[in-house]
Structure 1
Amino acid sequence: MTKVAMIGAGVMGSAIGSRLLDEGCTLSFFDVSQDAGGDLAGRGGSRAASPEQAASEAEFVFVSLNSADIVEQAVFGDGGVAESGRSGSLLIDMSSIDPGRTASMAGKLRERCGMGWVDAPLSGGAPAAREGRMTLMIGGRPEDVARAEPVLALLSARRTHLGDAGAGQTVKLVNQILCAGHFMILAEAVKFAESQGIDAALIPDALAGGRADSAIMQEFMAKMAKRDFTPTGRIDNMLKDLETVQASSFATRTAMPVTGLVSELHRMLVAGGLGPADSAEYMKLFDLGNE
């Protein structure tokens, strides 16, 4: 059996871990919250006391955390992955974090303990992770990516190696630019349809196969119309990624006025207490704005 570790057992980490268990892997996991990962423990996963312990016997150490600072602490802090890492193991970071810091940490980990680093941020959300149909944007040395391929194939339907460490994170930011704008305009379109007396839940079928069709519309438009806010992701995580985009674009003096507006709308939602909310709850911005 392939031995894997999962650092971070939130919504995404648990979904990734569940898929790996389904595929016959032996899983050790760590999360700072004892409330997280109960489903993994119930299915045979072993809860570790630290990232170091979780990674100690793993061939592949998966990471799914909310920020570069948290990733850095989990890898290089006291009791971190680097303390049990070795040249025969590989860290696979599925978080969405800054590309520059990813490249820096990858080099630092290799120097510290000989462990390789592959950044493999994902698209598709928790349902796709559980079903092994994620899309992965991959960065890392070719030899590390080749080693990771068999286990990444368990999790994803599509994988693209885009360059050295950090390249996957850069393309994930492109993904977030496109998704964040799409969520906003989708919610606005639902509100418009409702204002004209149309059942917006019927629109995905009506537009299927046309130029306006998309995976996001098919997954989320009916949810928005029904005000089904079953959690599949977090709005504050999207804002975190948009702020990384803005910082990167500012550094290169790249004008991004549309993304700037989308970011500001996300800040309004988070300021209104909807940071932990699901993507379908973008509707609340337009519901409140049209009262």
Structure 2
Amino acid sequence: MTKPRIGFIGIGIMGEAMTRRLLDKGYQVTVWNLEPERLETVVPHGARPAASPAEVATASDVVMLCVLHMAAVERCVFAGDGVAAGGSSTKLVIDLSTADPEGTRQAAGKLKALTGAGWVDAPVSGGPQLARTGGMTVMAGGSDDDFAAAQPLLADMAGNVTLMGPVGAGQTTKIINQAIVGTGYVVMAEALMLAEAAGIDAARLPQCLAGGHADSSLLQRLYPQMQARAFEPPASYARQLLKDLKAVKAFSRELGLDLKVIEEAVHRYADYVALGHEMSDSAAVVKLYEHEAAARGGG
């Protein structure tokens, strides 16, 4: 069976890893990024550079996006040089970005009216290492037919792909995922500070708690990174997680909820980013606690 031609827009940390995974699996991949220098991370491995999202669409059966937010999605799809201007070659857009559920529904409807292309919102979780090896998680939203078209491609990129409902359901699920992740990062930082201040062997905590109720992938994968202060190169950016947590807060308030743990996580990441750590690894939020501890000691 002939593989579909893939377009990939957004060659950031995750986009690079996913593009290289697609190339490894034998797909033809045409790429575009707002900062063209990022294309040098994938073009030497076989990706084909394009001058615009429209050019990507013209060369592709399926266009995938992994960009910063809903405004970037709309720019890449509907600007004068966007995907929608690329003609009818593209039959399906798969948006891997973390975006807005209602904005996603509106964009999907608009694209369908303009070009007839389908839309699957498919935000991801797992980080660049799992994206590179095809082990990440995808939470999807779309029609049954569009998801059926997307599923073989997503299965080559992820170990867990779940359709959560119609268009927008994937983004809603990602909001819940980010609520768990963002608050979990803060809890891991506070657990580490507790362990180190108490004088126990902080490095052995994941081993000790494995299998109990406190066990999780955050404890087994994120906590050791924090404990080792292994933050370079960044696997994700603090500014991005802050953006996601603010979206969780706004979404919860739209639903009439007052979720105080999420509110506190927003404050923690806002304080961390305010110290100049926008482009630091999200896991390095433990530095906020070190900064505050040092300030108290200095007082």
Identity of aligned residues (%): 38
1:30 touches 1:54 (CA, 8 Å); kept in 2?
Answer: yes
Indicate the residue corresponding to 1:277 in structure 2: 280
The change in CA–CA distance for 1:53 and 1:246 in structure 2 (over 3 A counts) is: same
C-alpha distance in 1 between matches for 2:90 and 2:276: 44
Indicate the residue corresponding to 2:112 in structure 1: 110
The change in CA–CA distance for 1:87 and 1:141 in structure 2 (over 3 A counts) is: farther
Q: Which amino acid in 1 is paired with 2:68? A: N
Q: Which amino acid in 1 is paired with 2:241? A: M
> When the two structures are superposed, what TM-score results if normalisation uses the length of structure 2?
0.95
Once the two structures are superposed, the pairs formed by residues 1-291 of structure 1 within 5 Å of their partners are 1-86=3-88, 89-230=91-232, 231-291=234-294
Q: When the two structures are aligned, how many residues end up with a matched partner?
A: 291
Q: Secondary structure at the match of 2:275?
A: helix
Cα deviations by residue, 1:129-153 (Å, 9 ceiling, x for unpaired): 0010111110011100000011000
C-alpha distance in 2 between matches for 1:201 and 1:79: 51
Q: CA deviation at 1:226?
A: 1.2
1:85 touches 1:114 (CA, 8 Å); kept in 2?
Answer: no
C-alpha distance in 2 between matches for 1:25 and 1:113: 24
1:15 touches 1:130 (CA, 8 Å); kept in 2?
Answer: yes
1:138 touches 1:160 (CA, 8 Å); kept in 2?
Answer: yes
Q: CA deviation at 1:2?
A: 3.0
Q: CA deviation at 1:241?
A: 1.3
- RMSD between superposed Cα atoms in Å: 1.2
The change in CA–CA distance for 1:81 and 1:88 in structure 2 (over 3 A counts) is: closer
C-alpha distance in 2 between matches for 1:210 and 1:265: 27
1:8 touches 1:63 (CA, 8 Å); kept in 2?
Answer: yes
The farther-off stretch of 101-110 and 38-47 is 38-47
Q: CA deviation at 1:88?
A: 5.6
C-alpha distance in 1 between matches for 2:87 and 2:176: 31
Cα deviations by residue, 1:160-214 (Å, 9 ceiling, x for unpaired): 1011110000010000000111100101111111112223222111111111111
